[in-house]
Amino acid sequence: MAEPDTVTVPASAEADTEPTSPFLRACGGLPTDRTPVWLLRQAGRYQPEYRALREKYSMLEVIRTPELAAQVTLMPIEAFGFDAAIVFSDILPPLVGMGLDLDFVKGDGPRIGNPISSTLDVDLLGTPPAEETMAGTLGAIALVRRELEPRDIPVIGFAGAPFTLASYAIEGGTSKDFSRTKAFMLSEPAAWKRLLGKLVTVQADYLLAQAKAGAQALQVFDSWAGRALGREDYLRYVAPYNRELFARVSSAGVPVINFALGVGSYLGEAAACGGDVVGLDWALPLDEAWERVGFERPVQGNLDPVALLAPWRELEFRIDDVLSRAGGRPGHIFNVGHGLVPQTPVDNVRRLVDHVRERTAS
């Protein structure tokens, strides 16, 4: 119980206070004293300490154990001092709670043992609450938040967008041409609607639960819609569900990042689905992509992650190119335009972070 003379700050007033961390300030389009930087897949196989931990535990064991997931989340923060920590998990574990058998097979990526092949399979999918099915990740978020709060480094939660998750649920793994997914979408439009509707329910609940657990920003990954579909199919079969997802998640009270890969030819339409910040892949130069999104909207991106395999002189040139195209406008978060690859030299990650800091410090 609060003492009678204790001043308690209502949660709403707390949320209205301007953030101090460069990452959250940039998410709000506010000026920063340097450009914040974090990288997609910043925790992962390029780090020797991650590989050592994965010798002992499977991917799913790490994800389901809050202490282990928190430990991996913090590895790149301790090593490089990123401006934000993305909780260590994957986009696919929420499918397990819906009734799909997921495994990560070494060298082969994710596998679903019982992929969806009929309309009945869609109707059998459950939509249980994230508190029941994703407790490991929610616990990890709380642990990381407690650890990083004193350093003012925000924690990012995330989830997959409905099309990307549907593609794994139907193909049973990563696909080259998404033919099963598209055939299902075109042959069974009513079941497609039910499937994407269920995915919106589960992902919205999961994202809101992550914010409740302590995530200070949320990122939605739509990795494959842009690769699989032309604009008209995107607008008909995907955009309504993405819009619904962003609308539901906007009540979380934290910035939401909309990262849709490969949507170059309909970037404006994908960005219009929602989210406060637009994540940009590396297909277009940053200034051109930002102009299409609208300069009033904060953006995150967009170095080609494979540039980190180049010699420093080339990498430095490309980092500087992204920064000069951002032009010092408020609302730029430096990132890669897709996840770091396992061969990334640790030294280049360190030099990248230091370089972005030095180049942009005011």
Number of residues that bind ligand CP3 (CB under 6 A): 21
Q: How far is the CB of 299 from ligand CP3 (least distance, A)?
A: 17
Which of 17/89 has CB closer to ligand CP3? 89
- 54 part of the interface to ligand CP3, by CB under 6 A: yes
- 121 part of the interface to ligand CP3, by CB under 6 A: no
- 41 part of the interface to ligand CP3, by CB under 6 A: yes
Catalytic site includes residue 297: no
Catalytic site includes residue 266: no
Contact 245, 264 (CB under 8 A): no
- What are the backbone angles phi and psi of residue 219, rounded to the nearest 5°? -120, 135
Which of 54/318 has CB closer to ligand CP3? 54
Alpha-carbon 40 to chain mean position: 8
- The window from 38-46, 185-193, 202-210, 314-322 that contacts ligand CP3 (CB under 6 A) reads 38-46
Binding mask 130-169 for ligand CP3 (x = CB under 6 A): ----------------------------x-----------
- 104 part of the interface to ligand CP3, by CB under 6 A: yes
Ranges within 59-78 binding ligand CP3 (CB under 6 A): 59
Angle at 246 between CA 260 and CA 156, to 5 degrees: 70
- 43 part of the interface to ligand CP3, by CB under 6 A: yes
Q: How far is the CB of 11 from ligand CP3 (least distance, A)?
A: 28
The structure tokens listed for 58 are 């499977």
Which of 120/179 has CB closer to ligand CP3? 179
- 223 part of the interface to ligand CP3, by CB under 6 A: yes
- The window from 34-42, 123-131, 144-152, 319-327 that contacts ligand CP3 (CB under 6 A) reads 34-42
In 3D space, the residue among 317, 316, 314, 290 whose CA is nearest the CA of residue 302 turns out to be 290
Active site residue: 50, 83, 145, 168, which one?
A: 168
- 116 part of the interface to ligand CP3, by CB under 6 A: no
Q: Could you give the residue ranges of the DSSP H alpha helices within the chain?
A: 11-16, 22-27, 48-56, 59-64, 66-80, 94-98, 119-124, 130-133, 135-148, 162-171, 179-187, 189-213, 225-228, 231-237, 239-249, 267-271, 286-293, 312-326, 346-360
Report the alpha-carbon distance of residue 316 to residue 31 in Å, rounded: 24
Judging by DSSP bridges, how do beta strands 109-112 and 102-105 pair with one another? antiparallel
Q: Which residue in 109, 126, 129, 327 binds ligand CP3 (CB under 6 A)?
A: 109
Active site residue: 34, 54, 243, 351, which one?
A: 54
Q: Considering Cα of 80, then 81, then 83, then 88, what sign does the dihedral take? A: positive
Active site residue: 25, 64, 83, 90, which one?
A: 90
Q: Got the DSSP string for 221-290?
A: EE-SHHHH--HHHHHHHTHHHHHHHHHHHGGGSS-EEEEETT-GGGHHHHHTT--SEEE--SSS-HHHHH
List interacting residues with ligand CP3 (CB under 6 A). Answer: 40-45, 54, 59, 86, 88, 90-92, 104, 109-110, 158, 174, 221, 223, 339
